[in-house]
Structure 1
Amino acid sequence: MSAAQFDLEALKKVLYSAVLSDVLDDFGLTHQAMLPFVRPLDDSLTMIGYARTGLFMNTYSVREDENPYEVEIALIDDLKPNDIAVLGCDGPTTRIAPWGELLTTASRKRGAVGCVTDGLVRDVRHIRNLEFPVFHGGIGPLDSRGRGKMMARDLPIECAGVTVASGDLVFGDVDGVVVVPQKIAADVIQAALKKVTSENKTREELENGLLLGEVYAKYGVL
């Protein structure tokens, strides 16, 4: 079964970033969780979808004949249902705020389900009202114009310490953001669902009074 055949809405209700990170550790991939400075705008929202990447660079001026948003606009207008914009700004940064209310509105209309950036975000109150999951490297009012520019899209990037390619599975919740490489996403999801079942059994045994050592010996989950 491919990752695309999974019901993402159903997975969002049962998976969590910690269990995905644990399973990726078991697969030998120990650097798939974004650095902890990346935080959700709304702790109550969970995000799962497929990465669409954008690479930003610092800029310090804008030519009169230039559209500094050209590549960024092209990415947003090309988003598909269940896509997540993943924007690498070499963060944490105090200069580049690539995401705000208008990009959120446009992305929602395309069926996208979230944004992750190690740069800044702005228009926070409006984004929260839209209940659109956004994970960010900081909050600030700065426009990216004259400070940062998306130079390329849909190529492998680094965001908050993790290499991300378009099509990778991205999961975010209050604990953080985890990236599952596309080629192993189906295997990771199946292993994560199995681990969730084991953790549920472990929790039940602990609630019934068994010692932690006894439960760990039985299920191998901690």
Structure 2
Amino acid sequence: MFDEKIRDRLMGVSVATVATALFKRGLRNQVIQGVRPLGFKGRNMVGPAYTLRYIPAREDRNGIEVFRNPDHPQRVAIESCPAGHVMVMDSRKDARAASAGDILITRLMVRGGAGVVSDGGFRDAATIAELEIPAYHSRPSSPTNLTLHEAIELNGPIGCGDVAVFPGDVILGDADNVIVIPSGIADEVSAEAVEMTVYEDFVVERVKAGETIIGLYPRTKDEHLATFDAWRKENGR
């Protein structure tokens, strides 16, 4: 069961802030490379990962008729991804053929999916961008996945955009990027990210007022601590 307080915390922080919190713990390569939001919704995407892995398609296995198979892994993935989860697709960083299209992503949305990420491309990208579900990919792609990709495994470890993703890892997407938080440290990282965000908001206000960043960001002068504490009380943070 996903802890909803983790979701609530991460809804208010940035990928950049979480990346710094993970770096403090020795994790340097958690941002999924090469993906961008389609029609950013003005809110973060947060949820545990449910994964789908593609391999290179082979002609004797991936004719158009396979879509008639009710057990086709791509279709099963859409119908089995739990509500509140983010579907993460390993498309081998290959956007020459689509990872999915608007009908499947609409179905994922209706079933309560928290978002979808592919390191390949989506077809019908303009339509997906208008859906309420957060979606991230590398670029639009029209050919069906069958031309180049075979959906082969559900909810196992994958690589997406050069990042290892395990089922249940916590996925955070914002207006810029998507990051993967190992499930075992998601609670502490999300709590720290909230505290970091509060201080960063204080810093932005001080910098806009003409304050130098030296000693302020990062805070190396104790004089800023009292000012921050007073600001925090005044702003209810």
TM-score (norm 2): 0.83
Number of matched pairs: 216
Would the aligned equivalents of 2:36 and 2:137 in 1 still touch at CA under 8 Å? yes
Give the match for residue 151 of structure 1. 152
Partner SS for 2:192: helix
- Match among 27, 33, 38 for residue 35 of structure 2: 38
CA distance in 1: counterparts of 2:126 and 2:45, whole angstroms: 19
Show structure 2 runs of 5+ residues with no match.
226-237
Deviations 1:30-74 (A, max 9, x none): 100111x21111244431111101110111423587447711111
Query: In the alignment, which of 76, 79, 82 is matched to residue 77 of structure 1?
Result: 79
Q: State the shift of 1:204 in Å.
A: 2.2
User: What is the alpha-carbon distance in structure 2 between the residues aligned to residue 112 and residue 94 of structure 1?
Assistant: 22
Provide the rounded CA distance (Å) in 2 between the counterparts of 1:24 and 1:10. Answer: 15
TM-score (norm 1): 0.89
Aligned partners of 1:99 and 1:144: how far apart in 2?
7
Q: In the TM superposition, what is the alpha-carbon distance from 1:89 to its structure 2 partner?
A: 1.3
- How many Å separate the matches in 1 of 2:64 and 2:163? 35
Opposite residue 89 of structure 2, the aligned amino acid is L
Q: Which is higher, the Rg of structure 1 or of structure 2?
A: 2
Distance (whole Å) between structure 2 residues aligned to residue 140 and residue 76 of structure 1 = 19
The SS at the match of 1:74 is helix
CA contact 1:157–1:164 (8 Å) conserved in 2:
yes
Q: Distance in 2 between matches of 1:29 and 1:10?
A: 20
Letter in structure 1 aligned against 2:46:
I
Aligned-CA RMSD value: 2.2
Maintained 8 Å contact 1:95/1:148: no
Runs of 4+, deviation exceeding 3 Å: 63-69
Alignment-mate amino acid for residue 36 of structure 2: R
Q: Which residue of 1 aligns with 2:4?
A: 5
